[in-house]
Amino acid sequence: MFENDYTFNGKHATYIKYLVDEANLYERYIDVLMNGAVYGLLYNKTSHRDRESQDRARVYADAFANCREDCMFLYRLAMLLDKTGGLNDDQLVDRAFRDDSEGARNDKVKDNLELFYSYVLGGIEILYESLTDGCTVEVDYIDKAVDKMKSFHEEIHGVSLGDRISELIRDYDHNR
């Protein structure tokens, strides 16, 4: 996984190019991909590949190679947190850690990657909408990004990572 190029099409390609090349909010396309995964998961937003336009943006394999651990972490997190398939906790753990043990040729891995990228696409839509609405010059984009980070910080403020992990472990132990 994350060994080949990935091509965004349509509006998602347009959004990525805009966030990187025009608004200068991200350095690389893979940064938008990873942030998209985070926002898609946080806001439980998924989307499908857009094939309405011919626009394309590609994340190259060498970018994945440099960020493979981060991408794998986000992938596994998505597989653990997505509850849309009605899977129990053991099945979620299998999906996150065992399905890919046979490599990317496995049909389960293809489905899982499609699910992961649906969160990426949904998150990219959130990023684009929230970071560009009403902006006309570069300073506007920076101000929007700072406001978004402050808002994000306020949403999670007061809940320590240790508390969240403990809560997840308690829930997992309770449901077994």
pLDDT of residue 144: 72
Average pLDDT score over residue span 37-49:
94
pLDDT of residue 58: 96
Q: Any idea where the domains of the chain sit in the sequence?
A: 6-175
Alpha helices in the chain (DSSP H): 10-17, 29-42, 61-66, 68-81, 89-97, 107-132, 138-156, 161-175
User: pLDDT by residue (tens digit) across 46-78?
Assistant: 999 998 889 999 999 999 999 999 999 999 999
